């Protein structure tokens, strides 16, 4: 369920039992926001609709997947996370090509959604191709694309700039969307020489700071982003995701984009607007783009707090695979409050469980 709040430039009306948790201002010709747990979407220039995901987890324990056909036949579309589901690092997970081919043969729509913002959709298309998978660019949705799509959805002014703490994927998607930007990997080479009286300058026309995973993260970027967010009126603070860890290699887990976002949260004392999972922004975008009923979608992922929560917030069926971040002990821990509809070891279980039920 979603709490809806209609926002205009002059008034805020809340549904019963909802609480104000954000501020919306009309500055420099565009709407800016500061809130956590939701997103803003402009619909045909009507008042903005703020949707707040209900984070109350499902109480019923997850069922181990036993009848793959039953799940496959119950939905039209499968949304797959990538890291930990399709691949780990640059290594394809066993059985993935055959599983995807089987689902396509059954007429299922396949969509691939990743919180990793280091690549653009086009770059991810090349990675799928390198791994021997035939995936169309239109089937790929990365959080780098989501950041640009969100700015388009709120009519972010083209005369404003975006400061990027992140990698090439965000820059490419912003460029394709026609937005001006600065920062990115090049600022990873910059250093601050602290000396008495030093004042760091920043551009006053930066209207948004987008933070994603960044292997070139440094103090210069933290300070520059902080100055923009704190001193530029109405500057948006957008995070592609808040993942604690990521799979840079198949040997171990590595610090994720959430660590970069956390540094700015600490310095700005402000929560970001998250466009990646588990925010429902990408789910709503996909549903609108393809005309999909959310009840006809199954979200498949390896993370409880992003993938599974993303599916649950969107009203979809959910399948957890244990080929990535989440182990069976983590799933069954009394401390875990997020339960998927089903769980299985890897997506190729669709093939073996089909055979077992023939």
Residue 46 in marked binding region: no
Q: Are 320 and 81 in contact (CB under 8 A)?
A: no
Spatial CB neighbours of 93, under 8 Å, sequence gap ≥ 6: 85, 86, 87, 323, 346, 347, 348
Q: How many whole angstroms from its chain centre is CA 282?
A: 7
294 in a labelled binding site: no
**277 annotated ligand binder:** yes
Point out the catalytic residue in the list 69, 73, 81, 175. 81
Asked if 142 contacts 148 with a C-beta cutoff of 8 angstroms, the reply is no
d(CA 298, CA 319): 7
Terminal Cα-to-Cα distance of the chain (whole angstroms):
37
160 in a labelled binding site = no
Please report, for residues 204, 218, 314, the alpha-carbon distance to residue 188 in angstroms, rounded to integers and kept in the order given: 21, 6, 36
| Given 69, 83, 250, 305, the catalytic residue | 83
Render the burial of 268-298: b for 16+ CB within 10 Å, e for the rest.
beebbbbbbbbbbbbbbbbbeeeebebeebb
Residue with tokens 């036993």: 66
Dist. CA 245–CA 259, nearest whole Å: 8
Question: Is 186 a known active-site residue?
Answer: no
Instruction: Tell me the residue ranges of DSSP E strands in 154-278.
Output: 161-165, 180-183, 206-211, 236-239, 245-246, 254-255, 273-274
| 243 tagged catalytic | no
Mark the binding-site residues for Mg(2+), compressed into ranges: 81, 83, 302
Residues with catalytic roles:
81, 83
Annotated binding site for substrate: 277
Residues that constitute the known binding site:
81, 83, 277, 302
């Amino acid at each position: 369920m979603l709490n809806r709040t209609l926002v205009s430039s002059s008034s805020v009306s809340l549904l019963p039992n909802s609480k104000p948790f954000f501020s919306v201002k009309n500055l420099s010709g565009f709407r800016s926001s500061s809130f956590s747990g939701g997103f803003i979407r402009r619909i045909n220039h009507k008042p903005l609709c703020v949707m707040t995901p209900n984070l109350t987890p499902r109480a019923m324990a997850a069922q181990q997947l036993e009848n793959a056909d039953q799940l496959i036949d119950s939905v039209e579309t499968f949304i797959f996370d990538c890291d930990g589901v399709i691949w780990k690092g640059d290594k394809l997970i066993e059985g993935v090509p055959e599983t995807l081919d089987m689902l396509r043969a059954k007429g299922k729509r396949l969509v691939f959604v990743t919180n990793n913002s280091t690549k653009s959709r086009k770059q991810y298309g090349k990675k799928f191709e390198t791994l021997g998978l035939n995936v169309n660019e239109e089937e790929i949705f990365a959080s780098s694309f989501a950041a640009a799509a969100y700015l388009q959805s709120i009519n972010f002014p083209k005369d404003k700039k975006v400061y990027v703490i992140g990698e090439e994927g965000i820059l490419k998607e912003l460029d394709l969307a026609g937005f001006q930007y600065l920062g990115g990997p090049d600022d990873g080479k910059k250093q601050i020489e602290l000396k008495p009286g030093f004042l760091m300058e920043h551009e006053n026309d930066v209207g948004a700071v987008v933070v994603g995973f960044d292997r070139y993260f440094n103090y210069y970027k933290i300070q520059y982003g902080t100055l923009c967010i704190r001193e530029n009126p109405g500057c948006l603070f957008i995070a592609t995701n808040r993942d604690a860890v990521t799979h840079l290699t198949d040997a171990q887990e590595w610090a994720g984009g959430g660590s970069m976002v956390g540094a700015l949260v600490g310095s700005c004392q402000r929560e970001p607007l998250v466009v990646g999972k588990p925010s429902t922004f990408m789910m709503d975008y996909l549903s609108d783009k393809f005309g999909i009923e959310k009840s006809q979608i199954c979200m498949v992922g390896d993370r409880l707090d992003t993938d599974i929560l993303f599916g649950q917030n969107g009203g979809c069926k959910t399948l957890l695979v244990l080929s990535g971040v989440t182990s069976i002990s983590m799933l069954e821990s009394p401390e875990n409050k997020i339960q998927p509809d089903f769980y299985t070891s890897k997506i190729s279980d669709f093939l073996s469980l089909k055979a077992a039920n023939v």
